[in-house]
Amino acid sequence: MDSLPTELLTRIVGFRSKADLATTRLVNGRFNQIASSILFSELTLYAHYFDCYMRLPPWPLDYDAQKFKNVVNHGIFRPLVKKVCIYTCEPHADHNVAIFGRDMGEFPNLQGLTIIFDRHVAAEQHDMDPIFQDQQLRHNILNDIINPLKDRIRDLWIRSLSGCESPVSGLRSLRLSVVHEETEPDLEPHTQSIVKTCNPHTFWAALPARILAPSATTLTHLVLYSSLMVGWYPKLDFRLVFLPNLKTLSLGMFLFFDDHQIDWIVSHRNSLRALYLDHCAIRYQVGHTITDWLDPEGYITNPQAESASPDGDEDEHFPAIQTIEISLRWHNIFDRLAEDMNLREFRFGTSEGWNFEMRCRFGSCPRRGIDIFPQMPWDQECSIANTIYAERYVHWDDWEHLYETEWELDWKYDWGKDWIDRLHSAPNCDEEDDASLQALLNKINRRK
């Protein structure tokens, strides 16, 4: 085996476990060099933990932080490090713990960086228990780690990001899962909704120009997940940026409502080869009572405006209900992708990593978007099973501040008949959607 070309030998050795790699280094000088380059190419740094939160360390029991420091201080191993994964909390991202040392700048060839935060984030107006990581703490951590490395990082993955950070230019791959502030529920449900009481809108509106544009010409892989349905409300308009070299696009909890969103994807036909849509939806209807709420393109002009309660429908001063319907259906999107794209991989469904019953740390009654926040998958889009799922069509209920598949007309409000007649069920087009999806997949398979 020692006579094999170095490139081939490196591939073979790369399949060995870490323990075996350590042993392989002892064979001879050549194997030592190859095994070391693989063994030390990726490092993991776990945060310290508090005994009062957990009896045992949250990381693997054989983990020793001193090993990380030894690599930092080793003149031969230090340049071999290409990627570092940093946990600012325990591996399952559910507890804030003391912060770590800042040694990332010591790796001269570092190109890949993964940073994992707590999946819960505190709203700034609340005095949180120390187990929360608020936006300011996350901002400080990211600044401390990323700023010294901006000229080197090419692959940036951030789990449970909250808030726009300083942009990094020249990225090849960007993976973000975005969490949103948790607020303490009040007695009235209309004061609890994140989209009304907090401000996720500024972040999402700025994301294309602030975070994507600095890497527009170099970005080849983009993965973007959200714990709230985004695309319309909150607004996320990808037309603000074009990514000429984009090969892979993954969207989680993205909302489609207009053809221009499909146009943007199709505009990348020359480069885009893999598209993953994970628990995405089409907004088929909106119910509200707000005058002049939408701009000419259908986006909301005043995100904090409140619709009047449906209980007041007998009041002569009560504003008339307004509904918005669209004709866009998933089979339209699948047909467009089949006709206009040159994809080699496409997945549409809900990956197993979603947990839609994850409670926020204030919640007392389970209501999605108020005190239930989904736990998002992480690096699981390639395992999405193509399927037609019920939640692919949703409406926006501006009284409950929720995206839901069907209107619930009989449990809370005294709905008038005129109102009920104007609120529609989700589109009944399972057969059309499934047929178009299968046609798209068959066309892609013929290209392989």
Do the Cβ atoms of 371 and 360 come closer than 8 Å? Answer: yes
H or E segment at 21? helix 18-24
Range of weakest confidence among 67-71, 81-85, 404-408, 435-439? 67-71
Residue 256, in any domain of the structure: yes
Range of weakest confidence among 143-157, 195-209, 350-364, 433-447? 350-364
pLDDT at residue 12 in the model: 64
Residues 126, 119: Cα–Cα separation, whole Å? 17
Specify which of 19-23, 57-61, 124-128 reaches the highest per-range mean pLDDT. 19-23
Residue 79, in any domain of the structure: no
Mean pLDDT (the chain, rounded):
81
Of 291, 278, 238, give the one whose Cα is nearest residue 398: 291
Residues 204, 143: Cα–Cα separation, whole Å? 20
Q: Which residue in this structure is represented by tokens 């409300």?
A: 233
Mean pLDDT over 258-269 rounds to 98
253 Cβ contact partners less than 8 Å away, ≥ 6 residues apart: 225, 226, 227, 228, 229, 230, 278, 279, 280, 281, 374, 376
Is the previous residue joined to 366 through a cis bond, with omega within 30 degrees of 0? Answer: no
Question: What SS3 state is found at 96?
Answer: strand
What is the pLDDT confidence band of residue 188, given thresholds at 50, 70 and 90?
Answer: very low
Mean pLDDT over 54-82 rounds to 70
Q: Is the pLDDT of residue 381 over 80?
A: yes
Residue 282, in any domain of the structure: yes
Residue 237, in any domain of the structure: yes
Mean pLDDT over 341-346 rounds to 97
Residue 98, in any domain of the structure: no
Query: Higher pLDDT residue, 220 or 81?
Result: 220
Q: In terms of DSSP bridges, do strands 393-397 and 345-349 run parallel, antiparallel, or are they unpaired?
A: unpaired
**Tens digit of each residue's pLDDT (9 = 90 or more) over 109-118:** 999 999 998 8
CA 200 and chain centroid, separation: 14
The phi and psi torsions of 275 (rounded to 5 degrees) equal -130, 125
Mean pLDDT over 352-370 rounds to 65
Do the Cβ atoms of 246 and 272 come closer than 8 Å? Answer: yes
The phi and psi torsions of 375 (rounded to 5 degrees) equal -80, 125
Could you tell me the residue range of the domain that residue 197 belongs to? 111-447
Range of weakest confidence among 46-50, 294-298, 310-314, 436-440? 310-314
Do the Cβ atoms of 437 and 334 come closer than 8 Å? Answer: yes
pLDDT at residue 390 in the model: 92
Burial of 301 (0-12, 13-18, 19+ CB in 10 A): exposed
Mean pLDDT over 387-413 rounds to 84
Q: Is the pLDDT of residue 440 over 50?
A: yes
Residue 41, in any domain of the structure: no
Q: Is the pLDDT of residue 159 over 90?
A: yes
| Number of domains, the chain | 1
Residue 182, in any domain of the structure: yes
**Tens digit of each residue's pLDDT (9 = 90 or more) over 284-319:** 999 888 888 889 999 988 888 878 766 554 555 456
What is the pLDDT confidence band of residue 254, given thresholds at 50, 70 and 90?
Answer: very high
pLDDT at residue 50 in the model: 47
Work out the end-to-end distance of the chain between its first and last CA atoms, rounded to an integer number of angstroms: 34
Do the Cβ atoms of 86 and 45 come closer than 8 Å? Answer: yes
Mean pLDDT over 194-223 rounds to 90
What is the pLDDT confidence band of residue 279, given thresholds at 50, 70 and 90?
Answer: very high
Residue 38, in any domain of the structure: no
**Tens digit of each residue's pLDDT (9 = 90 or more) over 120-139:** 776 655 555 544 577 777 88
